[in-house]
Structures are given as C-alpha cells and as structure tokens.
Structure 1
Amino acid sequence: MFRYFHYFILFIILVGCSNDDSNSPKVVPEEIENPIIEPEIGLARFGTNGINDRGVKLFDTDKGFVSFEYEDYLVGPGINQGKWVIRRLDDKLKIIDSKVLENIPFIQIQDIHKLDSDVYAVIGNNIGNDVETNKKATVILVNEMGDEINSIIVSDFLTEGGSSNTTIIDSKWVNNKLYLSLGGTSTRIIAAFGPALSLIWEKFYSLSSARVFITLDANSIYIAGAESISGENFNVIFIEQLDVVTGEKLDGWAFTQVEMDVNGLSSLNKLLNDDGSVYLMFESLFVVGGTENFSRMGIKILNKATGELTESTIPDLAYGYDFELLNDGFLFSGYAKNDERQIIRTDKMFDTKWSYTVQDASFINDVGISADGDFLFSGYYGKGIDGNADLFQDVLLGILTSEGTLK
C-alpha cells in the first residue's frame, strides 16, 4: 500500500515540475482539435479585394503547387492597376511566396503551359491604346520564380500576313513544340514553334470572322472554326486535319449549321480529340419573344472515320467555361441552369457521373488534371452586387479528387 502511495506522490511531483518548467516542450494530445478549423482544405481564396482579381491557372509540381493570377491594386484614389502574379503554394494551397510578374505586359493572358517542372510558357495579347503595342501576340517563358527566360512577339516571326494587330486565339504545347492559332483583321494563321520559340511552319487562311481552335494527336493537328455567313441565318463549321510536322493539309470537312432561332448566336470555344473523334465545345444563346433568353451548352462530335458530325448536349450545364478529356469521359466547368458554378464529370456518352458545386464562385476559369489524377481548378469569387461600392472579387483555387470531393 505504501509503495503505491509513494509512486502516486512521485507522479504528482513530476507533473508539477513539468508544468512549472517553461523550457519544457508542450505536447498537445492528438485527440484535442485545433479550435480554428478550416471548413474546406482543398479550396483557397485570397487576393487584394480588388474589383478584378482572378485565378488564371493552377499547376502541380514536385515541390507543391504554382498558380498564376491577376490582381487589381489600388494605386490612387479610384485608380486601379492590374498586375499578374505567380505564387508558390504547399500541398494545402497555403502561400509559400508570391511575386508580381513585372515582365508580363498583357492585358489578356490566353493560356499558360507547363513545359517542365520549372518552366512555363505564358501566352497572351498586349491589347492597349498605344498603336505600337496594340494587340501584339506575345509568348514569354518564365521559371517558377517568375524570372523571364525567353520571349518573342509572334508577328515578328511570321513571314506573311503577320501584323501588330494579330491576336492569339488558341494554343497548345505538345512534344516540346508550341502550336498557335492567331487571328488578324482578315487572316487566320496556324503556326508551329520549336522549344527555343523559333518558327517551324505557318499556314494562312483568308477568313474574316472565324475563331479557329486547335488540338493534336501523335501525327496530326486538327483545327476547327465557325464562319458566319453575312446576312444569312446559318454558319459553316469547318474542320481540317494538318500534318503535325509540316502543316500540310491531310483532310477536311465542312458542315452548314442552321440556327434554331433568327436571333440565335452560336460559337465554338474549345477543341479536343481522341483516337476516334474530334470534340467541339459550343454554346448558343437563344432569344425568346425578344425579352427572355436562355443558353445551352453542347458538344459537336466529328467521327474521323466516317466524317459524320453529331451533337450532344450537357443537360446539367447552361454555359461551359472549360472541358478536358479523360480516359473514361470528360471534365467540364460552367454554370448550371440554377446559376450554380459547377465542375461536372461525365462518361463518354456525356452522362453525369458526379457534379461539384463551387460555393460563392462567380467564374471557374480553368480545369486541369494533376499528375496524381486530381482535378485542379481556378477562377474567382465575388461579394456584393452590381452598383455596390463594396463589390469585389478575389482569387479562387481548388483541388478535387477524381471522385468529386475536395482534396
């Protein structure tokens, strides 16, 4: 009995000494939770509370994540100045460091491509009021710290048809080469550049209104656009297959598309392909009775073997922002008919497997796929309403698992 009492007294003394020793490490039991709980680990929101902050693209690296963003800074009473920012983030999207990209002159970034673990190609158009810099399509290579490695003004490399008002419409970086679709006043250009941004080949089209998009497979580059016919209630969708090495035309298709309504406006905004098909993402806005309107989103599908063009809609989306091709289906971002911003995974028949609603999101700019098979997204969320002095929007970044839950 005395022996156990002695152990008890010794235990009290040791505990008391431990509590009084300010130099001793404090051990928090694992079962005691931190009172500050983040409700959503795979979602990050930050910015300057500017009126135009937005996430452009999120990349995964072997060191964490890298994001590119646009931020509005208040530089004077009622004066905002936009700047592009690169951030390095940890695996929970917590900021490690940030840097303003002083060398990025763009008002508009068309896309950003990850070339390897440390180099990114920033593709954009410097659209300004200065005649000398107006609409100059530019490519800038930067490292993960935002330091410039190389840059070109695209029109300086084109042998014919290039001008200072040439803008980049679409871009792809595949097999260490950059492919660009460019639009001028009355010319459309498809051009291929090598890893040092030297011109390999170029192909010109006399088109007055088409926005031409591109996609590639191992041997071919496919281009597609919709050319409106002036004064007529239809347009022509054209698709061409080019040799990926030379740019020479291998095959081509053209389809007359009749509008559903005289006030209907149909446009294409992305192009993807797999072994058997080419997929064109489009949205249409229809005016009903001159007062109400509704939009729908769909995919036009070219069967490469037969040349047949079919169409499928995405019932859960009224408008699409982006889409990516998966092994067993597709990944879409857009807003639903109830105005919720959603990311939707479908099978190959475009039937929804799951959808994730991004709370408070105003726009989901981009969706991508990480090396681990997670889905990355970026965009912005906003507060206030139009006309409210407190209106602002900030950067939104997120990671979803392949099952549609936050990482």
Structure 2
Amino acid sequence: MPRCGLGATALRPASAARRTRVCLRQRLAATDRGRTPGVSERTIKVCVAGAAGYSGAELVAWLLRHPCVDLVGLYGSDRRAGGVQAERFDSLHPLHRGETDLRVEPASAASMLAKKPDAVFLATPHEASWELAPELLHAGVVVLDLSAAFRLREPALYASHYGGAHPHPELLAKAAYGLPERNADAIAHASLIACPGCYPTSVILPVAPLRRAGLLLPAAPVIVDSASGVSGAGRSASLKSLFCEVSYQPYGVLNHRHGPEMSQECGVEIVFTPHLMALDRGIVSTIHPAMAPGVTLAKVRHCLETAYAHEPFVRLLPEGSWPSVAAVNRTNYCDIAVGSDPTGRHLVLCSAIDNLVKGAAGQAVQAFNIRFGFDAALGLGAVAGAARSEGTSPAAARSRLVASERSS
C-alpha cells in the first residue's frame, strides 16, 4: 500500500481515488490511536515562506486542512519576518485563531532545511524567491513559487518588467509553469514549479484552448480588461489601498508585468489593462478575441467544453449566464462564460476567480497535489478561512472515506 510520505514515484501508479482513500484511512487511523491526524511519516512535510502576507496566509489555511500535509514551518517574506522576533501566525491573521500554534519566523533557506521538508511554498516577492529557491533546490526540496521569479522563459523580459537581470537564468528552462489544467504532465515531474499570476490565470484558461484549436485570428491581438480586488496589491501599506482612497480605476496600462506572461502562455499577443476595484478579493476578466473566419459561438463553447470536461475547478457557465466574484469567493474555481452579439461577428469571453485562491494559494495546492501524486482536488473542497466545521472534522473525513469506498 502506498504511503503519503513516499513521494511522487511511489504514489503515481495508484489511481487518484485510491490515493485519496489511503490518505484518509491513515489520517483516521492516527485519530483512533490518539495521535494528531495528518502528522506522521506518511505525510508530506511542508514549509511556507511569506506566511505574513495575504497569499501566504491563504496558503497556510488550505494546507492546514489538507489530509496529507504536515506543516512544519512558517516564515516571513524576508529575514526580518514580521518583526525582530517570531510572531504567532494566528496573531498576524486573527481569522485563523486557534488553527495552529506555529510562529512566522525570519526566512532563510538554512532554517527551512533544518525542518527537513519535502516541499517549500514561496509566497514571497520575486527577489526573495530568487534568493531562497536555488539553495532549496540544491538540497533536493520541491519548490512551488507563487511569485513571478521563474514564470517567464525569456531572461530579457525580467530586465524590462522586473527591474533587473535575472540572477539565475539557468533555472527558467527547468521550471514547470504551474497551471494544472494546461501543464499537469510537466508539473508531475518538476522540482521547481512556477505558479501562475492571478490575472494570467483568469486569461489563459479561457484563451489558451481557443489558440490551440486554431479558432483565433493569428495576427490579431486579444484585448483584455480585468478588475481585481485590492488584496492583489499585497498587504504592505500604500495610499491606493487605503479604504478612503479605493475607487475603480485602471493602472499599469500597457506595461503591467503580467502582460508578457499572458502572451507567453496563450501563444498570442495580449493587450492587457488591469483595474482596481473596491473589493477585498476577486478578479473578473473581460476578453475580446479576434476570431478566425467561420468561427461561431457554438464552436467556441464546444472547444471550451472539450478542454475542461474533466477538470474539477473550471466551470463553463450556461449560455446567457455571466461570472461574478461572489460565485467563486474563497474557492478554487474559475468560472468562464462566452457570448456573442446578435450578428455573431463579435464574441466576448468573461472569467472570474478568487485572486487569492485559484489565482494563488489554491492553485499552488492543486499543483502540489499533482506533483506528489495525489488527486488534484485533494484538500481543496472546503472553504478556507471559515470557522472549523463538520466538513473538516474526523467524523466528516470518515464519512467521505466510507462514501469513496462504496463508489469504487
């Protein structure tokens, strides 16, 4: 019987359903023996850097509910963490009070490696990821990076969009772009996973299948207007994120850092305009593609239905329905809709995600699951940040295990 802690090679031959049942069975057995469930040699040992920020906190919340994760260390985005001394995670993020007694420590590769992790999530600025990732990779740790440090394949783009030359260009070719729905095979074998940006996730998922199917006009750019909640700007204090200052306004017009990432992964030029909206979280993207001659709304819907028929977190909405941030709030879903004008000549795609979940933490956990041979949806069914509920209790886990055994 495969064990959760044996790594991807041992786990991959088993079916996804069986792997999930194995994890739940081990977790329940630990509970029955009076031990803390999920903390054993059979789990994947994980550290999180950047736990003081919004994306890092969201990531910790999901990992605490993951049945096959042993969360062994939390760190800040740099060597200073949140202050001179380590501070409890639930003091920095009161929403998660009582969920863990771990402290957010100053970040260094040495302190993380002392915990002997199997994987480290870096929810850090790209400069910190550049510093931490090489040493972790050299030690054989799987790195899942939520920053832009390793997303772009062309080193020159970092000089023009991220303020300087990339310090480790040799790692760019080794990094797997961590969009599970489009790159699962590469993720499953990667040591370095570059998790996508929030805006790019909301654009690549609707656009990439159309480009691959030859439905887009090759020489024409795709026009994208996106709006994001203010959590996308990070937790650091700034004038534009103050309550009295938040409005609805464009920013980064024609030079936003996520533009090259979208163009790279979609295989077509993206003209991107982001907007800041007065919400705490969520992204809505409105996409205006130039379609190849003869392409109809029905063909576009069929393309998207085929692309995501077996993907648990992409939902193609019924014709006439449009996405909203409320419908994806605190979930790992991406909702997509497509429509056309009465003439059929102009098509519009819309998508919605939670920028902190599908646009960051949830997607990273999804990639982690694929890398370590678990079902891609494992640990992502509950709403992170909610109070402890029946859905995360051992009794609920037992019920899910019994149900999965009956259905197999």
Shared fold (TM-score greater than 0.5)? no
Larger Rg: 1
Per the normalisation by structure 2, the TM-score is 0.32
More strand by share: 1
1 or 2 for the larger relative contact order (CA 8 Å, sep ≥6)? 2
Per the normalisation by structure 1, the TM-score is 0.32
More helix by share: 2
